[in-house]
DNA sequence: ACCAACATATACAGACTTGTCTGTTTTAAA
DNA sequence: TTTAAAACAGACAAGTCTGTATATGTTGGT
């Protein structure tokens, strides 16, 4: 039994490099070298570099979401899980050395994104939105539809804005400050 | 008298293309072709493509700021100018066909940004922060220092978060919704 | 033991990139 | 009119990139 199949090595190496260095800055040759496979093997599993990109986005999205669920698994639904979203991001900012959100990076790096990749970016955002909305509904069961939406969007904007500022400044401070503000915001609900 | 000097044509063409297509996707050859100048002329004015990038960021930052000042020139300082910030961005989102903020795009496109370029990105963010803070101080003259800072950061996060969502969705809706929320937020001050 | 599937290494094609270089032509001022 | 700076055209170097092709080797299932 092998340690890991060639395809798995390709994918995990590509995911690593695409996130660490960016998609454009990562060449096929670097991927095959670090994965320890032959170039022909790569093109047997993936028809193009773009196919690797789509696989990268899909896997990263599932991983991110899974990580969020595990991170907040033992928290109480509602306020605690909502704060957990921010804490989870804080943790990832540090462990990733402020590399930023994979989906936003791709969206800015490649203005002309293919359909499938675009769908992954949207799915990621929608996932965040849904998570926030669910917690808000737990906090305040009788949320008027319009206000729920408004609050969800606002929290998402704060979350993304703080993530962006943190990325630019290479600091957790914007996210920590935002966490405090959010705590105050949802305290009044 | 010439219509425009070679250097000016280089800069304006580079700024256009860097913003429209991205920095990496724009080659030197395309710049000289569309500017209608010779390659040797470009390298007589700029030592490298990276020097052009720095010039692009500097000029874009000054232009953006100038545009904001003109856009809000006839507005009353305080709430009106603060809302003007969001309206100004809304206008630019449409005229630029949702190309996003030049500085954020560069920050994500080139993870290893040179010192001067990084400084321009920071200066841009700081400019926004200062603008917001100034308007807040007009609105509420006796703002406690900590709360002023908190409110400034929050508004900046909302602004950037909405800009990001608008970019991803290619829609003005997130920014419009955020504008409404901000109006409510500052109404209570 | 054999065969098919998969990996391997490596060379190659063709198209791109930034930046250099040579030599000619235009322009402006003295 | 002479002179010097600047812009021109375009070939070229040296390297990058993705993707293909060839030819050899390994491995697991029947």
Q: Which window residues (5-64, chain A) lie with Cβ within 7 Å of strand C? A: 5-7, 36-41, 44-45
Section A95-103 average pLDDT: 96
Question: Using the CB atom, is residue B38 less than 7 Å from strand D?
Answer: yes
Same domain, A20 and A92: no
Same domain, B57 and B33: no
Same domain, A33 and A70: no
In angstroms, the first-to-last Cα distance of chain B is 56
Q: How far is CA A173 from CA A79, A164, A186, in A?
A: 21, 12, 20
**Spatial CB neighbours of A81, under 8 Å, sequence gap ≥ 6:** A72, A75, A131, A135, A138
Is the pLDDT reported for residue A1 higher than 70?
no
Q: How far is CA B80 from CA B27, B144, B156, B179, in A?
A: 42, 21, 16, 12
In a domain, A162, yes or no: yes
CATH of the domain at B128: 1.10.357.10
- Confidence grade of residue A6 (pLDDT, cut at 50, 70, 90): confident
Note the pLDDT of residue B3: 53
Domain count across chain B: 2
Mind telling me how many Å the CA of A100 is from chain B's nearest CA? Answer: 8
In a domain, A51, yes or no: no
In a domain, A153, yes or no: yes
Least confident segment among A76-80, A111-115, B103-107, B133-137? A111-115
Note the pLDDT of residue A3: 46
Section A57-73 average pLDDT: 97
What percentage of chain B reaches a pLDDT higher than 90?
A: 92
Section B103-112 average pLDDT: 93
Cβ pair A165:B150 closer than 8 A: no
CATH of the domain at B7: 1.10.10.60
Same domain, B14 and B75: no
Question: Using the CB atom, is residue B43 less than 7 Å from strand C?
Answer: yes
Task: Give chain B as a DSSP string.
Answer: --SS-HHHHHHHHHHHHHHHH-STT--HHHHHHHHT--HHHHHHH-SSHHHHHHHHHHHHHHHHHHHHHHHTTTSPTTHHHHHHHHHHHHHHHHHTTS---HHHHHHHH-SS--HHHHHHHHHHHHHHHHHHHHHHHHH-TT--HHHHHHHHHHHHHHHHHHHHHHHHHT-SHHHHHHHHHHHHHHHT-
Note the pLDDT of residue B112: 86
Nearest chain B Cα to A174, which residue?
B153
Same domain, A30 and A88: no
Per-residue model confidence as pLDDT tens digits over B26-46: 999 999 999 999 999 999 999
Section A114-124 average pLDDT: 96
Euclidean distance between CA atoms A103 and A109, whole angstroms: 10
Same domain, A86 and A142: yes
- Domain range enclosing B6: 1-46
Same domain, A67 and A157: yes
Closest residue (CA to C1') to nucleotide D20 in the complex: A40
Section B119-124 average pLDDT: 98
Mind telling me how many Å the CA of B129 is from chain A's nearest CA? Answer: 11
- Confidence grade of residue A4 (pLDDT, cut at 50, 70, 90): low
Section A33-41 average pLDDT: 88
Which residues of chain A does B181 touch, with a Cβ-Cβ cutoff of 8 Å?
150, 153-154
- Across chain A, mean pLDDT equals 94
Same domain, A114 and A162: yes
Per-residue model confidence as pLDDT tens digits over A133-181: 999 999 999 999 999 999 999 999 999 999 999 999 999 999 999 999 9
| H/E element, A84 | helix A79-95
Cβ pair A165:B174 closer than 8 A: no
Interface test with A, best of B150, B162, B168, B177 (most A CBs within 10 A): B168
Q: Compute φ and ψ for A114, nearest 5 degrees.
A: -70, 170
Note the pLDDT of residue A2: 38
In terms of pLDDT, which residue wins out, A72 or A43? Answer: A72
Same domain, B29 and B90: no
Euclidean distance between CA atoms B38 and B34, whole angstroms: 10
- Confidence grade of residue B76 (pLDDT, cut at 50, 70, 90): very high
Q: Which window residues (44-103, chain A) lie with Cβ within 7 Å of strand D? A: 47-50
Euclidean distance between CA atoms B92 and B127, whole angstroms: 17
Same domain, A62 and A83: yes
Same domain, B32 and B97: no
Note the pLDDT of residue A8: 85
Euclidean distance between CA atoms A62 and A57, whole angstroms: 9
Long-range contacts of B115-122 (CB under 8 A, 24+ apart): B116/B54, B116/B57, B117/B53, B117/B54, B117/B57, B120/B54, B120/B57, B120/B58, B120/B61, B121/A168, B121/B57, B122/A168, B122/A169
- The Å distance, CA of B184 to C1' of D9, is 61
- Confidence grade of residue A36 (pLDDT, cut at 50, 70, 90): confident
Section A77-91 average pLDDT: 98
- Across chain B, mean pLDDT equals 94
- Confidence grade of residue B1 (pLDDT, cut at 50, 70, 90): very low
Note the pLDDT of residue A38: 86
Euclidean distance between CA atoms A23 and A91, whole angstroms: 23
Same domain, B156 and B101: yes
In a domain, A114, yes or no: yes
Note the pLDDT of residue A40: 87
- Confidence grade of residue B6 (pLDDT, cut at 50, 70, 90): confident
Nearest to A85 by CA among A140, A152, A165: A152
């Amino acid at each position: 039994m092998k340690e890991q199949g060639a395809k798995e090595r390709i994918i995990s190496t590509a995911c690593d490099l695409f996130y660490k260095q960016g998609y454009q800055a990562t060449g096929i040759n670097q991927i095959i070298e670090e994965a320890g496979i032959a170039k022909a093997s790569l093109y047997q599993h993936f028809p193009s570099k773009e196919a690797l990109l789509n696989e990268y986005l899909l896997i990263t999205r599932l991983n991110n979401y899974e990580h969020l669920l595990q991170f907040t698994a033992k928290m109480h639904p509602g306020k605690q899980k909502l704060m957990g979203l921010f804490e989870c991001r804080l943790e990832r900012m540090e462990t990733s050395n402020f590399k930023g959100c994979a989906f936003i990076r791709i969206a800015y790096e490649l203005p002309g994104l293919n359909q499938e990749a675009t769908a992954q970016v949207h799915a990621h955002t929608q996932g965040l939105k849904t998570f926030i909305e669910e917690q808000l509904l737990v906090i305040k069961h009788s949320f008027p539809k319009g206000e729920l939406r408004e609050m969800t969007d606002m929290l998402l904007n704060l979350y993304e804005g703080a993530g962006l500022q943190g990325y630019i400044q290479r600091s957790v401070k914007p996210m920590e400050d935002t966490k405090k503000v959010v705590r105050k915001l949802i305290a009044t609900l």
